[in-house]
Amino acid sequence: MAGPGDNSRGKPKAAGDGEAKQRRHVSGTVVANDGSKDRTGEVLRELAQRYPQLKPVEHPINQGYGAAVFTALSNAVKDVIFFTDSDRQFKLEEIDLLTPHLNEADLVVGYRAPRRDPPMRVLFGHGWSSLVTLLFGYTARDIDCAFKLVRRQAFTNVAPFILSRGATFSAEWLVLSKRAGYGIVEVPVSHLPRRAGAQTFSRRSRTFSGVLAIASSSR
């Protein structure tokens, strides 16, 4: 299991406890602490003492959501990587819904059914997915859903070409994966209202430069 952590406070503990409950599927957890200014790094180090399978990776300064996800995925060592955020908006046991589809695809991408976020955020998300589809062809209906299962080789093969380290990371990852010929299957997953942490809108005021980055990397 791999995922980002940024000023997560109590959320790393939930991730560690959730991983413990899912050990029949998950044999290791990588959390990238993206330059958090609170106790996230300290909490992760404490948890690593209790859970040897937990591997915290530190960014000395905040580099952005995509950079944290890239670091987490790049430090995973198992043949199959389960990626999720640490904001506790997903049910970890629903990994059971994704694993059977690895027989038919290299990436199994969840989509939030329904999405439990503020209306403007949901609207913005639909608009972003539609724009990516319009420009680069269809990859997935919920590009930014942080509930994905991927064969490690499928990620490592496209990783050198992913330029984005910000909010457009997931879009670029999926576009490159599709163009590399990797199969993608979509599965509906539950989505919960945010219970911890502050929700921030993605910095897609930089959408134009992000789209240019995707276009450049996917040629």
What is the CATH number that goes with domain 2-217? Answer: 3.90.550.10
4 phi/psi in degrees, rounded to 5? -90, 160
Block residue for tokens 């059977």: 100
Which of 132, 160, 185 lies closest to 73, judged by CA?
A: 160
Q: How many CB atoms lie within 10 A of CB 52?
A: 8
Read off the pLDDT of residues 146-177 as tens digits, 9 standing for 90 and up. Answer: 999 999 999 999 999 999 998 899 999 999 99
Residue 205 banded pLDDT, cuts 50, 70, 90: very low
Q: What is the pLDDT of residues 42-82, one digit of tens each?
A: 999 999 999 999 999 999 999 999 999 999 999 999 999 99
Q: Where are the domains of the chain?
A: 2-217
Tokens of 28: 């290791």
Alpha carbons within 13 A on the beta-carbon side of 159: 17
Q: How far apart are alpha carbons 17 and 80 in whole angstroms?
A: 20
